[in-house]
Amino acid sequence: MNGLGGLNKSDNGVVIGLVQLQLPVTVTPADLARQTARVVELVAKARRNMATMDLVVFPEYMLHGLSMDTNPAIMCRMDGPEVAALKQACIDNAIWGCFSIMEHNPGGNPYNTGLIIDDKGEVQLYYRKMHPWVPVEPWEPGNTGIPICTGPKGAKIGLIICHDGMFPEMAHEAAYKGAEIMIRTAGYTAPIRQSWRFTNQSNSFCNLMVTANVCMCGSDGTFDSMGEGMIVNFDGSVIAHGTSGRVDEIITAEVRPDLVREARAGWGVENNPYQFGHRGYVAVKGGAQDCPYTYMTDLAAGAYRLPWEDTVRVTDGTSCGFPAPTRLFGETTQEAAE
């Protein structure tokens, strides 16, 4: 199945490389340009490293590091030089790439944005992180939903970012929209190591899909990211795992989206994505297709409220040095000031 990390590629295989990128320090536009050039260099390394590679994946915060600096001077724009360089790197190396930028947002806080760019330099997937890691992260909550694109060998690919993967609903939504491979990029540090591992495996098995997951790696002098590139098969088994903590190492494996499709069509026991919406189909024709989950109906009605809601003490970013927000979701900075 793994084909020696992708060296022996099968006809239906998709070879993925996960870059455990050295955690950078980015303070100035010059730092941003320097780090962009480094990512471009590593796209080329990925191609040289594995001629069979279809998709190279970089972690969240690959350009900006973990400072949480929202300085407009170092925020990226879709028509800016950083994205242009990433597109050109994919063209020059004939490879698909998954990248992370902190994107300027004139109506509020920057977006934590993920991109999948094809080997012709075209953006095939654009995603804004749905669940910033509060209270630590200042990013605007994403409003794009969870898009899916068609990637190498016709594989359906989704992308979520870091803390997103702690919510089972995110992976389930990706699968529900057709993802056979779900990428999860992150900047996580060592205290999250165990939950990173078991959520990557559960996201795969519960949704019968391959997950490809990678964090930043190494130290920036303050934080220590953990690398932990993991490629997990649709049955929850780990195909490849970067446990050395070696910076800029590229973890590779071949995955088989055709076998994902086969399992989703042919499995009876543990065909979890299907059975979730067809409860008890042995007893009743087609299974029960109601929504018995109170949290879902409440959330859809804008009435989500926990039984312990009034006891929650951390509900904004003030504990991490951010001012208490005054805007409501969907309001721009200008609207909130009027």
Known catalytic residues are 60, 129, 162
Which 8-state DSSP code applies to residue 140? P
Q: For the residues of 172-216, what is the DSSP string, one character each?
A: HHHHHTT-SEEEEEE--BGGGHHHHHHHHHHHHHHHT-EEEEEE-
Q: Which residues of 51-89 are buried (b: 16+ CB within 10 A; e: fewer)?
A: ebbbbbbbbbbbbbbbbbebeeebbbeeeeebbebbbeb
Question: What angle do helix axes 81-93 and 29-49 make, rounded to 10 degrees?
Answer: 10
Beta bridge pairs of residue 214: 185
Residue 220 in contact with residue 172, Cβ under 8 Å? no
Of 107, 175, 172, 168, residue with least CA distance to 143: 107
Residue 174 in contact with residue 146, Cβ under 8 Å? yes
